[in-house]
Structure 1
Amino acid sequence: MRSLLVIYNQATGPKASTAAASKTPLPETVLRACGYSVAQAHNRVQAKTLIGDAEASVLHVPLSDIREWGTALLQWKAVPLLWWCSDETAAESLEACEDNVMVDGILTPSMKAQEVHWALHFGAKQCFERQQWLDERKQLLSRIEERKWIDMAKGILCEIKNISEAEAYDLLRKQAMNERKRLVDVATSIVNVYQLLQEQKQRKGAKRP
């Protein structure tokens, strides 16, 4: 990992730094001294443009801003998110210290090259595990959603054809094989058609005097 993207917001940008904060080395200064290639972004447009070449993002923002930034960054590219904990950002984060912060690691201005290296290494590992968990969660939710449609379709077939759930499932599976479609797609189609027919019946019933 050699290419990093340092992200500021308006409050923590170099131009907005106070005299006290200016005594603390900026993230890009420390990271470049450690041998890393560093790009800087001060808004979402710049971050979206630069994130493609970055292997990790270093957020020089208060903790309260990390969730918003993290959500946006992960939509563009899944990279480790590390918080730059300086005196300035730490002071601005006192009220957010109990929040569930979405970061993979912390960097500080006092870190030496080896410490930065290992923080980034473990941050990358944490990012991979977090992404794996998110993928597994997405797959689980997808399977739950598919099961909902299949169960609904089975119920409709049981009602219309007066058959058991096992027979309804076999019917769904055979139709999916014949049409070369996924089981859930066939189930969804059956449910949608049934609901449409029910709505039409209700409208016709409402029009009768």
Structure 2
Amino acid sequence: MGSLRIVVVNSIIEADQEDDEQLSAQAVRGRALRIGLLEAGYDIVASLPADIFLPERIAQLQPDMIIVDAESDARDVLEHIVIATRDERRPIVLFTEDEKRSSMEAAMAAGVSAYIVAGLQTARVKPVLEVAMARFNQEQKLLTELSDTRLKLADRKIIDRAKGLLMARQNLSEEQAYQKLRQLAMNKNIKLADVAQRIVDVEDLL
């Protein structure tokens, strides 16, 4: 767990901007975050601004987790991150000062695993990240199971359709049609559903 590769997404603050009160608070929070990550043994591979190049940079760096450090309205930042993680999901942790329920709901809908409002203490960074990782892994497991179930259902439909075609064409019982499909699959050393799909494809061509 310690060697997680992390990309931090934040507003890059120039030295001459640190006089601004809001930016100064963000700089302090950003430092607390970095210290917390380093003390917990995480590997910060980059600190990136939330801009149009973000998806490209994340694709190049392939981090295990993305941490967003956003002062208030994080919607623009989230838009870039959603694009960046659309094809390859990753756990996203958002540290913000935005307490609005609508913002939190929008963030969760966008795929944020943990939404942490205010009070970024260095000591809290590690447990927050561990919970976010566990939650993300659980969600991925559920999505995979759902996808597998859908796939099995689709396979069953195509096998039933192929059986029906064999029964009609060759005057077979349902059991005989199923055994014929199995025999074809074994002979060709491919999955039952793939044999069924070929039979259905041929029928559709004719």
Bin the TM-score by the shorter chain: 0.7 to 0.9
- Match status 1:40 vs 2:52: no
Aligned equivalents of 1:20 and 1:45: distance in 2? Answer: 32
**2:163/2:178 contact within 8 Å kept:** yes
Tell me the CA shift for residue 65 of structure 1. 5.4
Gaps of 5+ in 2: none
3-state SS of paired residue (2:133): helix
Does residue 148 (structure 1) correspond to residue 149 (structure 2)? The answer is no
The alpha-carbon deviation at position 21 of structure 1 amounts to: 2.7
| Letter aligned with residue 35 of structure 2 | A
Counterpart selection for 2:87 from 58, 75, 78:
75
Task: Please tell me whether residue 163 in structure 1 is matched to residue 175 in structure 2.
Answer: no
Within a 5 Å distance, the mapping from 1:115-134 to structure 2 comes to 115-134=124-143
Q: 2:203 aligns with which of 194, 197, 207?
A: 194
For the residues of structure 1 that align with 2:133 and 2:173, how far apart are their CA atoms?
A: 51
Give the C-alpha shift of residue 44 in structure 1: 1.6
Once the two structures are superposed, what CA deviation does each residue of 1:121-141 show, in whole Å capped at 9, x if it has no partner? Answer: 111111111111121122112
3-state SS in 2 of match to 1:7? strand
Distance 1:115 1:139 in 2: 36
CA change 1:22–1:129 in 2 (3 A) is: same
Distance 2:18 2:163 in 1: 63
Percent same amino acid among aligned pairs? 22
| Structure 1: gaps spanning 5 or more residues | 198-209
User: Residue 49 of structure 1: which of 50, 60, 65 is its match?
Assistant: 60
How far apart, in 1, do the equivalents of 2:117 and 2:26 lie? 10
What does the per-residue CA deviation read over 1:98-123, in whole Å, with 9 as the maximum and x for residues that have no partner?
A: 44522211345522222111101111
How high is the TM-score relative to the length of structure 2?
0.76
- Structure 1 ranges of 4+ moved more than 6 A: 15-18
Q: For residues 67 and 154 of structure 1, do their structure 2 counterparts lie closer, same or farther at Cα, with a shift above 3 Å needed?
A: farther
- The residue identity in structure 2 corresponding to 1:44 is P
1:172/1:183 contact within 8 Å kept: yes
2: CA distance, partners of 1:17 / 1:158: 78
